[in-house]
Amino acid sequence: MNESVSSQPIKTVTKTKVSKVWLLPIVAVLIGAAMIYNNWQNRGIDIQVTFNTAEGLVAGKTKLKNREVEIGTVNAISFSKDKKSILVDIKVEREMQDFLVSDSQFWVVRPRIGPGGVSGISTLLSGAYIQVVPGSSDKFHQDFIGLERPLISVINTLGMHVNLVSSGGKSLRIGNPVIYRGFEVGKIEAY
């Protein structure tokens, strides 16, 4: 009998448990997860400003600005529950969180003609926008009451505020100049 038995060991090849075909979907899932995380990290801050009217405001188009720099966009415009005011939802860039403090002030910039002159002319072509002036508080806030008229002087402006009492019958208007020795030294903010 001629039996030939090989004295060499038999090699066994073990296959990897994960096929190379799965590498592409796994890489795609990891990239997608990284993109979702990055989007989550960079998403803006949602705030709400209440106004009496939505004149000139358009969801998705109207911008929130500070000193002509865009820092947010109006997402939605709706009525309050009692239907007496307008709720404007705004998404603000995350880096601008310092602007969102309890005494920040918001108003709509649109063309206006008044005793103090003409303002908001730039909005004739670009459309109305919401102006924000950050307050001096350090308390973060997300719900604000918007002003119906622009501020005459900004909170952080140098100068002083003076209350005058008069018994005169002349009518005063917001924005009228205050004159001292022939020079304009201020404006009437309220009466």
All structural domains of the chain with their residue ranges: 43-151
Residue 160 scores a pLDDT above 70: yes
pLDDT band at 49 (very low <50, low <70, confident <90, very high): very high
DSSP string computed for 111-180: -EEETTEEE-TTHHHH--EEEEE--S---B--EEE-BSS--SS-TT-SS--------------TT-EEEE
Q: Could you read off the pLDDT of 100-159 as tens digits, one per residue?
A: 998 899 999 887 776 556 666 666 677 889 999 988 888 998 999 999 887 766 655 667
- Of 12-21, 129-138, 165-174, give the range with the top mean pLDDT: 129-138
The pLDDT value recorded for residue 2 is 54
Which residues, at least 6 apart from 152, have a Cβ–Cβ distance to it below 8 Å? Answer: 116, 174, 175, 187, 188, 189
* pTM of the predicted model over 0.75: no
**Distance of alpha carbon 140 from alpha carbon 189, whole angstroms:** 27
Arithmetic mean of pLDDT, 10-39: 79
